[in-house]
Amino acid sequence: MSAMIDIVFLLLVYFILTFKIEPLEAHMTVNLPSPSTVPGQPPPVLLEVKILPDRYVLNGVGLTLDTVERTIDDLTRDDRSQTLIIKVGLNAKQHQLISLLDRCEKLDLENLNVLTLKY
């Protein structure tokens, strides 16, 4: 029987070594512009956040992530279903977008549209 126990031990060692805990991931839902190349009607702009490599710009005012969150919180207190347009600069980093989406999730905002700035 010892040979079989050896094999069973091998199996056990193999599964212990290869076992990996599933990583926890958050999946954030965003809306993208429609694929049509014809420029459509510009959406009614309620709230617009630009993400630039060094700062966030909310309705024309440069802010940090924390101040953006606070301002959006104040502006959307009555209506969390408001549309937020996030315009991301080409040189911005992905984690800046994710951080902003994360804060929006914290504020229960649902209508998040991601557009790309062509600069």
Footprint (CB under 8 A) of other proteins, residues 20-79:
20, 22-35, 51
3-state SS, 46-69, equals: CEEEEEECCEEEECCEEECHHHHH
Q: What is the DSSP letter of 33?
A: -
Binding-site size for other proteins (CB under 8 A) equals 46
55 close to 63: Cβ distance less than 8 angstroms: yes
Please choose, out of 38-46, 55-63, 71-79, 90-98, the segment that lies near other proteins by the rule CB under 8 A.
90-98
- Could you list the residues that contact other proteins (CB under 8 A)? 1-4, 7-8, 10-11, 14-15, 18, 20, 22-35, 51, 88-99, 101-103, 105-106, 114, 116
